[in-house]
Amino acid sequence: MDVKIENSWKEILSEEFEKKYFKQLALFLKKEYEEKKIYPPGKYIFNAFKNCSINDLKVVIIGQDPYHGYNQANGLCFSVNNGVKKPPSLINIFKELKSDLNLDIPESGNLERWSKQGILMLNSILTVEKENPGSHKNQGWEQFTDLVIEKIINLKTNIVFILWGAYAQKKGERIDRNKHLVLESAHPSPLSASRGFFNQKHFSKCNEYLNRYNKQKIIW
């Protein structure tokens, strides 16, 4: 199966694309995109991998599934397209960023600039039906993204995994803490941010770790 994904990832994931579950997922998505409004647009499904080859990978941020509102999702977890109103979770991420590193809150919620610096902004589920959160769960995406995380754990060293919320933390249970840095907190959603997301200083802790291993820090 010819999946349109960045070449370094395609090389290590190609066997996965030939498995039965992934072929069934592809058929499911074809029908969904034909009959319903699905986000993100098809060309952005693997956008998280586009600007972040596995060779340049430094940080992994794990989300759940894409934003389900009009024109929000762009294939990067927590990110929205330019000109789109920032969702509450993203506003809280920027508030914590300001508190941690005293950075001004950016006008745009498009986090592509993070992706280009070696951050894999990976949702567990890569597609969603409009206004129907969680609609594409248990169709195969979770198995695929588990495999992506497993490849990173095994092939790389000294990667920073940022796990916000119980869902991401469960997704990252198998990460070797002796080989990688795992930063965990409550989810940035307004429902949970006040219970342990703020004042965790994950952005500065990430850069301190990267510096320790002679990796270029992230310009957040």
Q: Using alpha carbons, list the distances in angstroms from residue 67 to 21, 90, 105, 199.
A: 24, 11, 20, 25
Query: Which 3 state secondary structure label does DSSP give 157?
Result: coil
Q: Are 39 and 46 in contact (CB under 8 A)?
A: no
Residues 65, 100, 104, 146: which is the catalytic one?
65
Q: Has 65 been annotated as catalytic?
A: yes
Find, among 161, 165, 162, the residue nearest to 188 by Cα. Answer: 165
SS3 category, 174: coil
Which DSSP letter does residue 25 get? H
Run of H or E residues at 175: none
Active-site residues: which are they? 65
